[in-house]
Structure 1
Amino acid sequence: MRSRVSASTPPPTTLLTTLDRLWLTEAVRLREEHAGPLEDDEANRRARAQGGELAELIEYRALWLARRDGLINALQHWRQGARLAGFALALLALFTGAGLAWAALGDGQRPVNVFWALGSLLGLNLLTLLGWLLGFFLAGDSGGALGRLWLWLSEKLARDARAVQLAPALLTVLEQRRLGRWLLGLGVHGLWLLAMGSALLTLLALLATRRYGFVWETTILGEGAFVGLTQVLGTLPSLLGFGMPDIDQIRASGTLANDFESARQSWAGWLVGVVLVYGLLPRLLLTLFCLWRWRRGRAALRLDLQLPAYRLLRERLQPPSERLGISDAAPQRLHVPGSGTQLNGGDGAVIVAIELDQSQPWPPKLPGSVADASVLDDREQRRRLLDQLTRFPPQRLAIACDPRRSPDRGTLALIGELSRCAASTRVWLMQAPAGQALDSQRLQDWHQALDGLGLDHASSAPLSWLENGHD
């Protein structure tokens, strides 16, 4: 017998975070907004059976549709693409930082102009930091060019057409508490933190393995400007224990003939300290600040029930008659229409037939523990039975079909929906009445269709299985 997971259980979302749930809910909303309403009768019915507040019902419905339509898998693919994009950007940041250090110090054959080196190490970092601050406070930019590049790469690397709504949905969810700027800011500052860390380590490695001399040069400025600037920049690093050249060493470095060992060491310590304090530490502090704001805001995310799409869902998920409250306790046993047999919710067995004509006798002689759900002929009967089975899913369900009819899409969809209401399901392809023969090709079509649904089927009534759980 094939093993089959019943869809009467909630969607496999136990590994999804609160953000993932809101993200998928918003993705379903955007999809319906652009492509029109989805076929959601079963999702709505299961959400109503689940019970709870409106936000919980909307989320359950969306997650059920997301699982059915492959959005949960698309989310996993998008996450994989995001990780690959982040890894690629992290590698770029590491190589960028190392390249900045190499460009600043050179090969050691010539003296290093300290302020050109400082500009090479900190210039791009400070310019991008200034751009981020201006965008943050003036333009409300969520993350700058690096953040948009990461989102674009994530979508491209996901390589899943179903993921097209995921990036807009994520930004919409995050916009609720203006979290987009903190998430993308975390990425931007984290990348620059990697770059400056790489630059600092490369700088230390070069200074430890090569002999560098340091000079300053000018045509229009006096040495007093360099002395003052050097002391100002070295004040904070000196508080952390980094060395700083004295006035005589700074003045002596203005000549290319300077080759004092103590001066080289002082300038090296000064350069490392300035890069650490003005390059790495600001990015570290901003990364930690963005992380704190991101975690704090993420914990406060909620579904925005004021959106028009969610207001429309209220009537379908919480009909007025249900919102008035419960006047009677839930029955201990489920009444199944037809023969009047009752089923103890979750422990019994049910048999139902689909569109039988008068030549097929119904019901068969049933054991006392098996409930007859009668013959489903119209939409109302189907809806009523599906509602009951959703609330009280049986352990075993047998579905009787007349294989003289073609296995059309509607019948197969109903069989699939019924099967998802039970822990285990079998299909009974009834024998033709006396004097009539079954079309072998049509019977083969039934077998292929039911195999595609993953359902067991047989030509004999599964009465022993219904009663005992085995043949």
Structure 2
Amino acid sequence: MPDFSRKLTETVRILEESGHVFPADPEAVTQALHHVADDAGQKLIRRAQMIDRDGAVAAALLRAQAVSFWLKAAAALLLFCSGFSATYLLMDSAGLNFFLLLGGILGTNTLMLLLWLVFAVCRIKMPALPLLPTWGQGSSAVEQALIRLYGDEMRQPSLRWRLGALSHALWLSALTGMLSAVLLLLLVRQYTFNWESTLLTDTLSVRLVAALSWLPQHLGLPVPDAQTVLGSRSAGHAANARAWAGLLLGSIAAYGILPRAAAWAVCRLLAKLSPARLPLEQSYYRHILQQWQRQVVDSDDYQEHLPSAAPQIQISQAEKWAVMLETAWDDPHWFRHILGQEWQLQDTADSREKVAALAADLQKQPVQLLIGVRANTVPDRGVLRQIAQLAQAAQGGAVVQLLWTERSSDTAADVRQRLETWQQALNGLQLSWLNPPEISQKLRQAV
């Protein structure tokens, strides 16, 4: 399941549970997908996309992901520059102590890598990351839902590996900055390398350098031999600088960058092996899935009750047209993405002649028609005849979208009674219908 689709579905769940009013009625969308042949996860994703008819939730989620991306990019750039600057300061001398320089570049990185390895092998649980309570104060409901979503993400099993991959990527940025500084300075400056030690003997020092040189030497880089090591104690020589420089570059690549890159790859792989999933065990998803599974009940002793629409809404494969009866609607985009379809708006059918012309066009090709009507008015016989005429001509079927203009004088009882009048009239014509999305949700939440 694509991660963006999963997050969109989860955000819609959080919003619906908090009583958010969507541009599409979730109950009508659920009913419309009742007979769609697809697995549960894909149907839930499609349902969320249809509910988010205006794309507001998807746009907010994309903005959040974009902010996250640019924050990570800024952090990576900052660490690259920090690594470059710190290395530049370490090499601000013509004579360099090799072991001090190598320890300054790789010391902290190696220690943190070993600490991460201990946490990973011993499976030590990471402490929960708290969300600042001040985030999102006074923001929109969608932004509040995204805060809850990312709070839930902190409890996903794959979090440890996703955070690990991020940490390794940032360390790689710092190491790349260090390697870039070393390479640049070695290209434009003449350095000499030496080493000093009170405890290490010459023999141990030679063995230590030989051990460090094993992998860089196999990478084709020049490394100091035993004579060079002995000759560089407490004194640096320009003739030996190239060998020490090769060992320095090889050590940063072999013992810094390569282990980090391997750890990053392991974290990425383990994160993909334990992907985040939809929590289908939650009552929210169980309720939706139960509605879609009612068809398996024995029809002899079960009468399915669909409170949102009757008869059943069917999405055909025919071309999709939309038309507004009588007069144009205040919102010119009222038809956009209804039931997840791309409807093509036709001229407003504001006269008998236009209705007859549209019906003639519908008979020439298979079209599914979306008919917009004003639910504030009483369903008189003339309007019902026009609806029936267009529905009969639409070879791909017809769906009536009831539209409502909210007025301060309207009470919940008045709205409910007017909608029921329209519903009964359309049921008598055996036509599928959709309630006004916002009004339908508000009335359902008021119960």
**TM-score in terms of structure 1 length:** 0.61
1:365 corresponds to which letter in structure 2? G
From 353, 363, 373, the equivalent of 2:380 is 363
Question: Which 5+ residue runs of structure 1 have no aligned equivalent?
Answer: 1-16, 328-332, 337-342, 357-361, 374-390, 426-448, 451-471
Structure 2 counterparts to residues 355-434 of structure 1, below 5 A: 356=378, 363-365=380-382, 368-371=385-388, 393-394=398-399, 406-407=409-410
Residue 231 of structure 1: CA displacement? 0.8
Superposed displacement of residue 64, structure 1: 4.6
SS at structure 1 position matched to 2:223? coil
1:346 aligned residue: 368
Given the alignment, which residue of 139, 145, 165 partners 2:148? 165
Distance 1:18 1:219 in 2: 59
- Aligned residue in 1 for 2:180: 201
Cα deviations across residues 268-288 of structure 1 (Å, max 9, x unaligned)?
Answer: 111111111001111222223
8 A contact 1:237–1:273 mirrored in 2: yes
- CA distance 1:189–1:308, shift in 2 (3 Å): same
Quick one: structure 1 residues 267 and 23, their matched pair in 2 at CA, closer, same or farther if it must change by over 3 Å? same
- Which residue of the partner structure matches residue 46 of structure 1? 29
Structure 1 CA distance for aligned equivalents of residues 185 and 161 of structure 2 = 35
In the TM superposition, what are the counterparts of 1:53-64 in structure 2 within 5 Å? 53-64=39-50
Q: Match of 1:125, SS?
A: helix
**Mapped contact 2:401–2:433 kept (Cα < 8 A):** yes
Amino acid at match of 1:242: L
Question: 1:227 aligned to 186, 198, 206, which one?
Answer: 206
The whole-number CA distance in structure 2 between the counterparts of 1:246 and 1:49 is 77
The answer to whether the 8 A contact 2:14-2:145 is kept is: no
- Report the alpha carbon displacement of residue 318 of structure 1 after superposing the two structures with TM: 3.0
Query: Helix, strand or coil: the match of 2:369?
Result: coil
CA distance, structure 2, for counterparts of residue 49 and residue 255 of structure 1: 82
CA contact (8 A) 1:112 1:215 kept: yes
Change (3 A) 1:248 1:346: same
Q: CA deviation at 1:88?
A: 1.4
Match for residue 442 of structure 1?
none
Q: Give 1:294-309 correspondences, 5 Å limit.
A: 294-295=271-272, 297-298=274-275, 302-309=277-284
Deviation at 1:203, TM superposition (A): 0.3
Q: 1:401 to 1:167 in 2, by over 3 A?
A: closer
Equivalent position amino acid for 1:130 in 2? L
**Separation of aligned partners in 1, 2:97 and 2:47:** 65
Q: Which residue of 2 aligns with 1:24?
A: 8
Q: Equivalents in 1 of 2:104, 2:163: separation in Å?
A: 26
Rate the CA distance shift 1:323–1:202 in 2: closer, same or farther, 3 A.
same
Matches within 5 A, 1:175-324: 175=156, 178-256=157-235, 258-259=236-237, 261-295=238-272, 297-298=274-275, 302-315=277-290, 317-318=291-292, 320=294, 322-324=295-297
AA aligned to 2:114 is L
**Which has the bigger relative contact order, CA under 8 A and spacing at least 6?**
2
CA-to-partner distance for each residue in 1:270-308, whole Å, 9 max, x for gaps? 11111110011112222233334444554xx64342234
The 2-side partners of 1:91 and 1:211 are apart by 28
Contact 1:196/1:280 (8 A) holds in 2: yes
Residue 85 of structure 2 corresponds to 99
Q: 1:323 to 1:304 in 2, by over 3 A?
A: farther
Partner of 2:427: none
Q: Is the 8 A contact 2:32 2:312 kept in 1?
A: no
What is the Cα deviation at residue 225 of structure 1? 2.2
1:71 partner letter: V
Residues 177-234 of structure 1, C-alpha deviations (whole Å, 9 max, x = no match): x332332222222222222122111101111111111111122332222211111111
Against the structure 1 CA distance between its residues 402 and 365, is the aligned structure 2 distance closer, same or farther, given a 3 Å change threshold? farther
CA contact (8 A) 1:93 1:191 kept: yes
| C-alpha distance in 2 between matches for 1:355 and 1:279 | 74
TM-score, normalized by length of structure 2? 0.64
Go from structure 1 to structure 2 and tell me whether the alpha carbon gap of 1:285 and 1:371 turns closer, same or farther (over 3 Å shift): same
**3-state DSSP of counterpart to 1:346:** strand
Cα deviations across residues 3-33 of structure 1 (Å, max 9, x unaligned)?
A: xxxxxxxxxxxxxx72112123334445667
SS of aligned partner of 2:388: strand
Deviations for 1:110-154, whole angstroms, at most 9, x for unmatched residues?
Answer: x21111101011011111211221222224456x99xx69x98xx
Please, which runs of 5 or more residues in structure 2 have no aligned partner? 301-309, 314-361, 391-395, 424-431, 440-447
Distance apart, 1:95 and its partner CA: 1.3
1:116 paired to 2:133 = no
Q: In 1, are the aligned partners of 2:179 and 2:252 still within 8 Å (CA)?
A: yes
Asked whether the equivalents of residues 194 and 234 of structure 2 are also in contact (C-alpha less than 8 Å), the reply is yes
Q: Contact 1:350 / 1:371 at 8 angstroms: preserved in 2?
A: no
Partner in structure 1 of residue 345 of structure 2? none
Given the superposition, is the C-alpha separation of residues 350 and 251 from structure 1 closer, same or farther in structure 2, using an over 3 Å criterion?
A: closer
